[in-house]
Amino acid sequence: MRVLVVEDERRIADFIGKGLSEQGYGVDIAYDGDEALHWVDVAAFDVIILDVMLPVRDGLEVCRTLRETGLRTPILMLTARDAVEDRVRGLDSGADDYLVKPFAFAELMARIRALTRREPAATGTVLRVGDLVLDTTTREVSRPGQHIELTTKEYALLEYLMRHPNQVLTRTMIAEHVWNYDFDNATNVIDVHIRNLRRKIDDPLPTKLIHTVRGAGYRISARQMV
């Protein structure tokens, strides 16, 4: 999952970015309103974390501008203001949720999970493809009779696949949602992670879930590919 963090206080931006990266998210950071709009023009994000008090143009204006373009990406607003009227202004500008500084990182993660569950492909906290189960709350992955241990990036890749079952996901799509802007898509890193997932998820069992679509990308599906 790829997140855009828009925060002009670099200490806070670095804190959020580091925490999200450690959880397996692809993270890009913008430090002012115009830079945020530029990022959204050039990349696709699953969630936008948007501070209200920004230089150049504030978060409320950025949020309104994004919604006027038809962007439906969930937006979580951050602010140091806790007044009711401030929260109302933020939500009325198009934000989906509001978090007041200072906040616990665990609460930020919980709100991100709640926002992504609102998307049709991400309904519920438990994702299932065939007999493979991924719990987004506990981050536990299992197939019948076995608990599957994954690295942080393997988990992020599997979650992205499982949020789009039966769909062909290209390497570019995977790179954009699981890694960040600096990722070099010319490397074989994605293929290596797919091989590792297959070894842990598919190799022990007769039913294979992760399929290569030659010349296109990858798909996770309980349907057996011909």
* Sequence ranges of the domains in the chain: 2-120, 124-220
Backbone angles phi, psi at 43, to 5 degrees: -145, 160
Amino acid 26 reads G
Does the pLDDT at position 187 exceed 70? yes
pTM of the complete model: 0.65
Confidence of residue 181 (pLDDT cuts 50, 70, 90): low
> 124-220 architecture in CATH?
Orthogonal Bundle (1.10)
Top-confidence residue, 180 or 195: 195
* Average pLDDT of the chain to the nearest whole number: 87
Q: Is 42 exposed, middle or buried (0-12, 13-18, 19+ CB in 10 A)?
A: exposed
pLDDT of residue 122: 47
Average pLDDT over residues 188-203: 93
**pLDDT tops 90 at residue 29:** yes
Q: What is the mean pLDDT of residues 6-18?
A: 94
**Range 198-202 average pLDDT:** 95
- Band of the pLDDT at 124, cuts 50, 70, 90? low
Dig out the tokens for 194 from the structure: 């797919």
Span 44-86, pLDDT tens digits: 898 999 999 999 999 999 999 999 888 888 999 998 876 677 7
Residues 54, 6 contacting (CB under 8 angstroms) = yes
Which tens digit of pLDDT belongs to each residue from 96-122?
898 888 889 999 998 998 887 765 444
Q: What pLDDT score does 142 carry?
A: 95
**Listing from the earlier edge strand, what are the strands of the sheet with 140-143?**
126-129, 132-135, 140-143, 146-148
Instruction: Please give the Cα distance from 39 to 31 (Å, whole number).
Output: 11
- Structure confidence at residue 184 (pLDDT): 65
Which CATH architecture group holds 2-120?
3-Layer(aba) Sandwich (3.40)
73 to 5, 69, 96: CA distances (angstroms): 13, 11, 9
